[in-house]
Amino acid sequence: MTQNTSIGIIGSGAMGAGIAQVAAMAGHKVVLYDNNTTALDKAKKSLAATLQKLQDKGKIASADEVQQRFSFADKTGSFADCGLIIEAIIEKLEVKKAVFSDIEKVVSADCILASNTSSLSITSIAAACNKPERVMGLHFFNPAPVMALVEIIPAIQTAPGLIPGAKELMLQWGKTPVIAKDTPGFIVNRVARPFYGEAIRILEEGIADIPTIDWAMTEIGGFRMGPFTLMDYIGHDVNYVVTETVFQSFFYDPRYKPSFSQKRLLEAGWLGRKSGKGFYNYAEGTTMPDPTKDLVLGTRIFERILAMLINEAVDALYLGVASVNDLETAMTKGVNYPKGLLQWCNEWGVDKCLEKLDSLYHEYHEDRYRASTLLRKQAVGNKKFV
């Protein structure tokens, strides 16, 4: 794939339009497709406005020049000359499989097909195609023009030679690529689950309220956003669904168990910032609640969540989901963690992390708190990961 490769994008929502912008700004001709002409027209106007703002700020030389690289299509036949198609539509496996099967009928024999799915099986999507060896995952993070990380996920059918080419293309686009095994949630959406799930568990147990948990993770832990603020920002229609998908895909492993607290928000339509209400109320004139700034309590909260996050990263390494470097890069570039979790484990002490997890397991007797085999091995002699 070179700069002369035409890129096709399926889906003109925020994610699809964002990826289209990235590709066009990297010099590619881009076909943005959506069968909803209203959505397509909205994306066209939004992209034009965004590019003009970038020109006004001196970020690009000419908005018109980039705009001319776009074509907008409501027919899949427009993909005939594309060398790479990236799908960015609803997170429903059967829908994605049907789309890939249809797209394969109109593209060239050597066109590469990629899914932007955040948690679904690339292998299953590839199985819907006559040439599954041309299918891979390219998972961008929202907003795509801003977020550096891209997870590259080969299916078990993916031709090995495609992965180095995809990595090089992402580097040309100014992105930071990491390679992830085709397991539920890949790297980020797997390893980050305790940041949300354990925070909700602490809330449901009555240990601390929402603002206090957020305060502990930002002020003591150094995270940019607390878990409840972040869930409201992402939207519960997205965050809860990813949690539920990962839970089901891991054969109902209790480590990934969703919460009724978040499910009820989704059922009520309280999706977070986008709806004006979630864990917090964002209505105009509303005063945000104050946290209880108890350092002992805050440290207890932070260390419990951090131990769970570290354990998830260690287990991902143990099971070959990604390399040490890619795990660290994914969590710092994909969700802006203050530092890589394996580095954090080294600084904190493997033995301390294991002690914290074993204490939780002893208290609850739940598999949710089982320590990774690799963490237990590293604790012998307090070995370091990086």
The answer to whether 134 touches 114, Cβ cutoff 8 Å, is no
Distance CA 116, CA 4 (A): 22
6 is catalytic: no
Which of 160, 167, 159, 172 lies closest to 138, judged by CA? 167
267 is catalytic: no
- 34 burial (CB, 10 Å; 0-12 / 13-18 / 19+) is buried
Residue type, 30: V
Distance CA 152, CA 119 (A): 12
112-115/30-33 β-pairing: unpaired
189 is catalytic: yes
119, 121, 189, 372: the active-site residue:
189
Angle (CA) 34 36 37, round 5°? 95
6, 115, 118, 239: the active-site residue:
118
The CB density around residue 1, as the number of other CB atoms within 10 Å, is 15
CA distances to 198, 237, 241, 246 from 267, rounded to whole Å, are: 21, 9, 12, 19
Strands laid side by side in the 84-87 sheet: 70-73, 30-33, 7-10, 84-87, 112-115, 135-140, 149-154, 176-179
6, 87, 104, 151: the active-site residue:
151
363 is catalytic: no
Distance CA 252, CA 166 (A): 32
The answer to whether 135 touches 129, Cβ cutoff 8 Å, is yes
**In sequence order, which ranges of the chain are alpha helices (DSSP H)?**
14-25, 37-56, 63-67, 93-103, 122-126, 162-172, 188-191, 193-204, 210-215, 227-234, 236-249, 260-268, 295-318, 324-334, 341-348, 350-364, 373-379
Active site residue ranges: 118, 139, 151, 189
